[in-house]
Amino acid sequence: MKVVLQNLTKIFPSRNKKSNEEVVAVNDFTFTIPDGKLIGLLGPSGCGKSTTLYMISGLQKPSGGQIFFGDEDVTELSAENRGVGLVFQNYALYPHMTVKQNILFPLQNLRGEDKLSKEEMLERAYTAAKLVQIDELMDRKPSELSGGQQQRVAIARALVKMPKVLLLDEPLSNLDARLRLQTREEIRRIQKETGITTIFVTHDQEEAMSISDMIVVMKLGVVQQIGKPQDVYDDPTNLFVAKFLGTPPINVFEGKVAGGKLYLDGVEVLDVPGVADQDVTVGIRPEGFTLDENGPMVCGLNSVEVMGRDVSVVSTHPASVNSVIRSIIDADNKVAAAETVSYSLKPHKVFLFSKQDESRIYFDI
């Protein structure tokens, strides 16, 4: 099911009686979510991810704009009638019910032509349970399950009604690191097997990047960039997006462009043809540095961390905004123990941003 968001906006009235400042939680969000894809909705806390999800689900009413499922305008439709499955961070299982009863619950309220026989309900419940691999745990209570298993029950409960759209709001946040990894792969597998259009909300860029067909990066209610994870990483539209994606994060410098050359701390480091003379903010991805003893970027060497396949070099540079620079170098290249380490730069890993509005300034490579 294709989902269309058209100028979707949500404004909350001020919570504070003294000030009249309203909160624009979601501002003019327009996007078509293609049928059968998994979309990662990504951004820092408070940027409007949950609000967007609740509007799609029908739990919250938009202040403006429209929502379509396929060609049907569902903006005024109640949550029950939209055919969405919702999964929250805190599982929200009924503690006094068994796993089986929890999964069956949404089916028992179906009325009219949707009403199912007991056998049909059980079959659906077991199919959903098998899909998330908890069919052996059907008679347990939620308190007898691990966090990861509880979240699987919540997913099964969302799937049992065969929703047209699956909405997941930070579903992995309560799990420990290893379970988070495992469960996110599970969610991807389930999504692929069922082909349900899925929106996955997270503040964790790595999580969103690893399982999404496309990511939507939000900031303060405004969509910053939409694209395939790799494309957004390789070609960020502004400094916010560049900084939000990637571990270790992008290295940021104060720089200057003059005569088509980029200068850091007065030293020419890269050709940037086509850019007008100006002060710029410079982002360099950790993998954008090449060890080069004659390279123009001479950095103070702090430490070298061996990580097996790669080596992480921690260094300093006068133009760096952060106290240290992190670069990732192939482990085959040896970093000599010395006071300094010198690099040349990979042009496609260097991004320039406007000092005025932090938007990207492109140069010809």
Where does this chain bind Mg ion (CB under 5 A)?
A: 50
Whichever of 50 and 224 has its CB closer to Mg ion, that residue is 50
The pattern of x and - marking residues 139 through 158 that bind ligand ADP according to CB under 6 A reads --------------------
Question: Would you count residue 47 as binding ligand ADP (CB under 6 A)?
Answer: yes
**CB 226: neighbour CB atoms within 10 A?**
18
Sole binder of ligand ADP in the list 20, 45, 117, 143 (CB under 6 A): 45
Question: Would you count residue 48 as binding ligand ADP (CB under 6 A)?
Answer: yes
User: Which of ligand ADP, Mg ion, none lies near 51, with the C-beta cut-off 5 to 8 A by kind?
Assistant: ligand ADP
**CB 326: neighbour CB atoms within 10 A?**
19
User: Which of ligand ADP, Mg ion, none lies near 163, with the C-beta cut-off 5 to 8 A by kind?
Assistant: none
Whichever of 3 and 201 has its CB closer to ligand ADP, that residue is 201
The secondary structure of 324-353 as a DSSP string is -EEEEEETTS---SSSEEEEEE-GGGEEEE
User: Which of Mg ion, ligand ADP, none lies near 269, with the C-beta cut-off 5 to 8 A by kind?
Assistant: none
234 contacts 286 by C-beta, under 8 angstroms: no
Burial of 157 from C-beta contacts in 10 A (0-12 / 13-18 / 19+)? buried
In the complex, what is the shortest distance from the CB of residue 49 to Mg ion, in angstroms, rounded to a whole number? 5
Question: Between the CA of residue 352 and those of 132, 251, 256, 264, 273, what are the distances in Å?
Answer: 45, 12, 10, 12, 12
Copy the structure tokens of residue 222: 């405004």
User: Which of ligand ADP, Mg ion, none lies near 111, with the C-beta cut-off 5 to 8 A by kind?
Assistant: none
| 312/52 Cα distance (integer angstroms) | 38
Question: Would you count residue 15 as binding ligand ADP (CB under 6 A)?
Answer: yes
User: Nearest 10 degrees: CA dihedral of 159, 165, 169, 170?
Assistant: 70
226 contacts 52 by C-beta, under 8 angstroms: no
In the complex, what is the shortest distance from the CB of residue 169 to ligand ADP, in angstroms, rounded to a whole number? 7
Residue number of the CB closest to Mg ion reads: 50
In the complex, what is the shortest distance from the CB of residue 177 to ligand ADP, in angstroms, rounded to a whole number? 21
**CB 103: neighbour CB atoms within 10 A?**
29
Whichever of 244 and 253 has its CB closer to ligand ADP, that residue is 244
Which value, in Å, is the radius of gyration of the alpha carbons in the chain? Answer: 25
Question: Would you count residue 46 as binding ligand ADP (CB under 6 A)?
Answer: yes
Whichever of 51 and 281 has its CB closer to ligand ADP, that residue is 51
Interface positions, 25-44, toward ligand ADP (CB under 6 A): 25, 43
Contact residues: ligand ADP, CB under 6 A = 12, 15, 23, 25, 43, 45-51
